[in-house]
Amino acid sequence: MRRQHCAFVFLPQTWKPTPDKSLDNALFCFSFLYPHSSPLSCPINYFLPFQLYFLFFPLACSSTLTGSSHPSHPSLSRHSCPPILHCLSPPHPFPSLHITVQRILLAFLACLFLLPCPAQAAWFRVGVVGPWGCDPLFAKALPHVAAQLAVNRINRDPLLSYAATFDYAVLQEPCETSRALEAFVGFHPKASGYIGPANPGYCDAASMLSKGWNKALFPWGCVGYELDSVRNHPTFAHSMAKPTWVLLSIMSYFRWAHIGIISSSDDIWVETATKVAESMRSHGLPVRLVSFMENTPHGIRRTLAKVRKMREIRAVILCMHSVLIGGKVQQQLLETAYDMQMIDGSLVFVPYDTLLYSLPYHNVTYPSLKSNSKLLRAYDAVLTVTIDSPHLSFYEAYREAMERGEVAKTLKPQQVSPLFGTIYSSVLFMAHAVHRVRESGEWMSGGNLVQHTRNLAFEGFSYPVKTNSSGVSLLNYLILDTDGLSWKLKPTYSIDMEANMVRFLGQDIHFPHGYGPRKDSSCWFTPGVICSGGVDLLSTISMFIGAVSFSVFAVVLIYYIRRRINQIRLVRGPNKILLTLADVTFINPSLSNKKLSLDDSRASGMKSVSECSITSPISTQSPATYENSNVVIYEGDWAWLKRLPNGTFSSINPKTSDVFELMKDMRHENLNPFLGFFHDCGVFAIVTEFCSRGSLEDLLLNEDVKLDWMFKSSLLLDLIKGMKYLHHHGVCHTRLKSRNCVVDGRFVLKITDFGYNEVLEAQRFPYIEPLADELLWTAPEILRSGYPGLHGTLHGDIYSFAIIMQEVVIRGPPFCMLDLSASDIIEKLRKPPPLCRPLVSPDYAPSECIQLMKQCWTEQPDKRPSFDEIFDQFKNINKGKKTNIIDSMLRMLEQYSSNLEELIRERTEELEIEKQKTEKLLTQMLPPSVAEALKVGGVVEPEHFDSVSLYFSDIVGFTTISANSEPIEVVDLLNDLYTLFDAIIGNHDVYKVETIGDAYMVASGVPVPNGNRHAAEIANMALDILSAVGTFKMRHMPDVPVRIRIGLHTGPCVAGVVGLTMPRYCLFGDTVYTASRMESSGMPYRIHIHESTVKVLRHLNLGYKLELRGRTEVRGKGVEETYWLVGREGFTKPLPVPPQLKPGYISTMGIAVFFSHVALIFCLYFFPYSSISPPTLIPVHPLSITSDESKSMKQVFHKAVKKISHVRVVTQLYTPYEDDNVMMSHH
């Protein structure tokens, strides 16, 4: 607040203000103000010493007041000096001084005694904020009249006008919340305090702004428990009783806890509903529904359907204008609820807006109820809660003001909203607070105004206003009800907000069907009780603890049972995993004519016969035991044991069991299947199938095996498919290398050792750092980790595949072309640059294969291709060819032996898909019934149809468009246009017969009859097509419109299939010809229909709009009445505007007619006219020709007719909308 100063004087106690002058006018007849400040008023206890009185006031009265008024404050001219000044003033102390010297002395003395003035301006302007300009029902409150009436009465009251002279300003609040807040920011300099706002959506922000401005806010529409904080909102006054307290009192009394809230779509009511819901929920009530209803019949019905689904709702709060003051949305809602049979007593509706004003009810008739019987019956389920007016109703108070001449008599009281009284009472409320602040001598600040609203009592417009010690208004409310038969409102209960009590007034509430909503448990309204269907806090806690205990017990029990079942499955049954000596039989590898190495440095590797005979310590004569053999017989087949490192292995933990289950489920022809886990005699090994040809590394090093590219690509393709399967299942191999790829007797590569690291980790084996030559397949990013070889990634498997690919391509170990040791290679891989990669010559494999290999071992993992991409590229490298003959035969035998049923199923599915494609294509070419007859080899007999409707259309000026376009552009044009047409006819019961060039033919009622609907289907389709063509653009000539002519006709026809080669379903008959003529004699952007079609459409009575074209000559048919189809009731799509014809335009009859007439005219021109006896009138129909030909053609016609005296000619040129054509008409 601006700091202002004024000079104070002492007046004798004997002086009293006159009735028409306030004390301020006498006390402050003289003041010095800062420029652009308002006139000040100072409390009476701020006085100068009495001695200044005789010095100061004579100067003031003589030189200031009597001389001129303050230039900056015209209001000072209305302040007169007290009469005592004129009689008590001593003689002028300086009679000889010039008047200018007196003024200077006066200014000097005044400056010495300038004191801070703790009060604000003597003029106090009240800003009345509300949506007066955008909401007509709020505007009916007449805020200008209400504020003016309150201000006039305040200024006439000596006690209230003693504090200040009041003024008002009506401030327009937009209906949108965001704009309303923006507008409120601009209200700062326009008022000293505010009545409002009406929109609860920005009440909190408005309160903060008023706090910053130190101006009081007396709202009448705000809702929200957060506004109750005096500390956060010191300038926020509760000038109205809190509406949610009133609602809580009602809900508590009737024990209706489950409520719903419905608001109209207006912003102010949406925000009100939101705030009311938040406030009710803060008091513990279950607000089941908050719906922002669309103000449409469909939106209202949909909202009420939601309410009906929630059967537990007892009361619905309606946040919208009351129907009693003209609220149309509430009227529609109540009428719709009545239609939906929701006025049955199980639900009550409580209007919210009547809580904001005093609604008259005594001897008052509301026309909305009296004139609407449905609304009257629906209003039986409404409880109207409003402010009680015990002595004088709003209408009576307004009528008295009219009779006293305080308000204009232009409107009857019934035409004014009762909100008028709320505005009046709020202004009066603020005036009483201002009066108290003046009396206390405190600063006139917003906070002080709010502090002085406590324990107030005064008479409002039509009801008494009272506040408690917290400054909250304590108004009394009434619950009004109707009896379902009379339109009069009767009081049933009163709500005393001071006593917080609901009192019965002797009149029961009349509920529909005699009963009201069911009561809820009282615990909802009992403080300190957590209510959930009536259960108290102790029971709720006990139930919760019991439920948690039961859940924990159930989880533990299920876990134990599941673990026990898994343990049983591990050791028993056909799918058991844990194997012992009783399940397997160790054999001597020599029995298979193979010597197997026990060297564990080769992880699960198998060596060739010659190598094993040298390195193996096993004697071919010694018996096989678990100590000297890794080959066993399990369930009749040979199997291989992959031994785990030595260590403690007391039991199988659950995590390891999950890994075993996962490995057991992995089934693919290129994965070596996991058979089980051997766990006996201190030996722990993974059991897999035995592959007789050893590992891929052994096969590559065996020079006796000749490997061409087809053989190599077959092995690589097997590896790719196996890894593709693993990655699809989210399994990372981690140990992928040529030693872990085995080859069976049929040269099928299978991947093994997947899941090996997971088993070690699950059983918590100690980490053993692999040797350098075991890490040559490991990706660089994994080598740089702390534990290389322990954890892998999918991208790391891609890198390992690239190294195996290098081995297969050149048949050599990894990095064999580099003269480096394994340790040096690993060091270079860990610490680039330079990048260390194998060097592969393009002579070893196709260039695409080399490029794929380089992509797979790129340094950035995310740039490596996936196995899906590798598989596709590899197939392209082989160009779809299989491997060599032997491999192809072995693979084919394996596939036929193991996957024959799967192949048959796949082929059957493919055949079924192709069959469906063929049938779909056939049904697109022919009707389904005809297609079925042709498929079984039957004869399709011609079929007669009594009544069908046909559609013909073509493109106007298609020849010109084709001449100016490339052939491919013409094809694109027709394809785009007819694709559009095809999409449209799919929405109608029609059949596309054919398209020839730019002609498009469609029929309805054939091949499947549909009664008389065929004419409507064709007409609807024609309107849709014409609408779509209006916005169609050619790709190569977007500025040239595409115009079409459409012709419709209804009649009989015969349909049948013509021809054996490329058979076609054709229609025959005069109906086809007439429909074609309807199109050719039509106009652009017009639907030309025959009278036969018009009769059917009129018989259907579907609202088709037809225009009579008149008698039209139809070639081959004579002159007939035809019509234009221009629309249909309910059809809202835009139609293109057909070109306007200039006078004399006649429809084109064809090139043949024209040229016959031209030939005749030329004969007349070149032969004597005497050879032609009697005078003849030759009608020549118009023809479209190019503009450069029109002039010469016209000259020829003129010359021809000049030689014939008895032939009269009229030649006219018509220019249609096409720029390059003209129209000639000759007679």
Q: Is the dihedral of CA 436, 147, 351, 494 positive or negative?
A: positive
Q: How far is CA 781 from CA 788, 791, 858, in A?
A: 9, 11, 11
Tell me the pLDDT band of 657, cut-offs 50, 70 and 90.
confident
Nearest to 261 by CA among 253, 503, 251: 251
Q: Give mean pLDDT, residues 826-841.
A: 87
Q: Give mean pLDDT, residues 411-438.
A: 93
Top-confidence residue, 781 or 100: 781
DSSP 489-535: -EEEEEEETTTTEEEE-S-----GGG--PPPPPGGGGSTT---SSS-
SS3 943: strand
pLDDT value at position 897?
Answer: 67
pLDDT digits (tens, 9 = 90+) for 669-686: 999 998 888 877 778 888
The CATH T-level fold of domain 941-1128 is Alpha-Beta Plaits (3.30.70)
Using an 8 Å Cβ cutoff, are 293 and 264 in contact? yes
Top-confidence residue, 40 or 104: 104
pLDDT value at position 1151?
Answer: 44
pLDDT at 377 over 50: yes
> What are the φ and ψ backbone dihedral angles of 408, each rounded to 5 degrees?
-70, 155
Using an 8 Å Cβ cutoff, are 672 and 663 in contact? no
pLDDT at 702 over 70: yes
Q: Percent of the chain at pLDDT above 90?
A: 41
Superfamily of domain 578-886: Transferase(Phosphotransferase) domain 1 (1.10.510.10)
Q: Which two tokens stand for residue 516?
A: 């009201």
Tell me the pLDDT band of 63, cut-offs 50, 70 and 90.
very low
pLDDT digits (tens, 9 = 90+) for 1001-1021: 999 999 889 988 999 999 999
For 379-471, strand residue ranges (E) read 384-387, 457-459, 464-466
> What are the φ and ψ backbone dihedral angles of 540, each rounded to 5 degrees?
-65, -45
Nearest to 1075 by CA among 1114, 1038, 1119: 1114
pLDDT digits (tens, 9 = 90+) for 479-488: 999 877 778 8
Identify the helix (H) or strand (E) that includes residue 993: strand 991-996
Top-confidence residue, 25 or 368: 368
Amino acid present at 120: Q
Lowest pLDDT segment from 131-140, 246-255, 788-797? 788-797
Class of domain 243-387+478-514: alpha beta
Q: Give mean pLDDT, residues 393-407.
A: 93
pLDDT at 1167 over 60: no
pLDDT at 1179 over 80: no
Top-confidence residue, 870 or 1060: 870
Q: Do domains 243-387+478-514 and 941-1128 have the same CATH topology?
A: no
Give the count of alpha carbons within 13 A of 480, CB side only.
23
Nearest to 456 by CA among 435, 478, 477: 435
Using an 8 Å Cβ cutoff, are 578 and 570 in contact? yes
> What are the φ and ψ backbone dihedral angles of 418, each rounded to 5 degrees?
-60, -10
Q: Percent of the chain at pLDDT above 70?
A: 76
Between CA 900 and CA 230 the distance in angstroms is 84
Q: Which two tokens stand for residue 371?
A: 């004139």
Using an 8 Å Cβ cutoff, are 453 and 441 in contact? no
pLDDT value at position 101?
Answer: 62
Contacts of 21 (CB under 8 A, 6+ apart): 80
Top-confidence residue, 554 or 1193: 554
Top-confidence residue, 521 or 962: 962
The length of the chain in residues reads: 1227
Look up tokens 């191999």; give the residue.
733
Nearest to 446 by CA among 457, 465, 433: 433
Q: Give mean pLDDT, residues 160-184.
A: 89
Q: Which two tokens stand for residue 519?
A: 């009561």
DSSP annotation of 236 reads B
pLDDT value at position 684?
Answer: 84
Which of 5-14, 708-717, 998-1007 is most confident?
Answer: 998-1007
CATH no. of 124-240+399-475: 3.40.50.2300
What is the end-to-end Cα distance of the chain in Å, rounded?
A: 94
pLDDT value at position 1213?
Answer: 40
pLDDT at 462 over 80: yes
pLDDT value at position 881?
Answer: 63
Top-confidence residue, 1223 or 445: 445
Nearest to 1104 by CA among 1189, 1018, 1180: 1018
Give a three-class secondary structure readout of 1140-1152: CCCCCCCCCCCHH
pLDDT at 838 over 60: yes
Contacts of 1195 (CB under 8 A, 6+ apart): none
pLDDT value at position 895?
Answer: 58
pLDDT value at position 1171?
Answer: 40
β-bridge mates for residue 688, sequence order: 640, 674
Tell me the pLDDT band of 33, cut-offs 50, 70 and 90.
very low
pLDDT at 902 over 60: yes
Kindly list the domain boundaries of the chain, sorted by start residue: 5-116, 124-240+399-475, 243-387+478-514, 578-886, 941-1128, 1151-1226
Q: How far is CA 772 from CA 56, 756, 768, 805, 825, in A?
A: 110, 19, 12, 20, 9
Q: What is the mean pLDDT of the chain?
A: 78
pLDDT at 953 over 70: yes
Top-confidence residue, 176 or 119: 176
Q: Which residues of 841-880 are buried (b: 16+ CB within 10 A; e: fewer)?
A: eeebbeeebbebbebbbbeebeebbebeebbebbeebbee
Between CA 529 and CA 513 the distance in angstroms is 34
pLDDT digits (tens, 9 = 90+) for 529-581: 667 554 455 666 788 899 999 999 999 999 888 777 777 776 666 677 888 88
Tell me the pLDDT band of 385, cut-offs 50, 70 and 90.
very high
Between CA 541 and CA 751 the distance in angstroms is 57
pLDDT value at position 46?
Answer: 36
Top-confidence residue, 674 or 1171: 674
pLDDT value at position 37?
Answer: 34
pLDDT value at position 1204?
Answer: 46
pLDDT at 928 over 80: no
Between CA 926 and CA 127 the distance in angstroms is 79
pLDDT digits (tens, 9 = 90+) for 73-90: 333 333 333 333 333 334
SS3 373: helix
pLDDT digits (tens, 9 = 90+) for 767-786: 788 888 888 999 999 988 87
Top-confidence residue, 161 or 25: 161
Identify the helix (H) or strand (E) that includes residue 890: helix 885-898
Between CA 1227 and CA 1223 the distance in angstroms is 14
pLDDT digits (tens, 9 = 90+) for 275-321: 999 999 888 888 988 999 998 999 999 999 999 999 899 999 999 99
pLDDT value at position 449?
Answer: 92
pLDDT at 36 over 50: no
Burial class (CB in 10 A: 0-12, 13-18, 19+), 786: exposed
Between CA 1089 and CA 665 the distance in angstroms is 70
Using an 8 Å Cβ cutoff, are 461 and 421 in contact? yes
Tell me the pLDDT band of 200, cut-offs 50, 70 and 90.
very high
pLDDT digits (tens, 9 = 90+) for 592-636: 444 333 333 334 444 333 333 333 334 444 566 767 778 888 888
pLDDT value at position 867?
Answer: 92
Tell me the pLDDT band of 956, cut-offs 50, 70 and 90.
very high
pLDDT digits (tens, 9 = 90+) for 1093-1146: 999 999 999 999 999 998 888 887 888 889 999 999 999 999 998 887 554 444
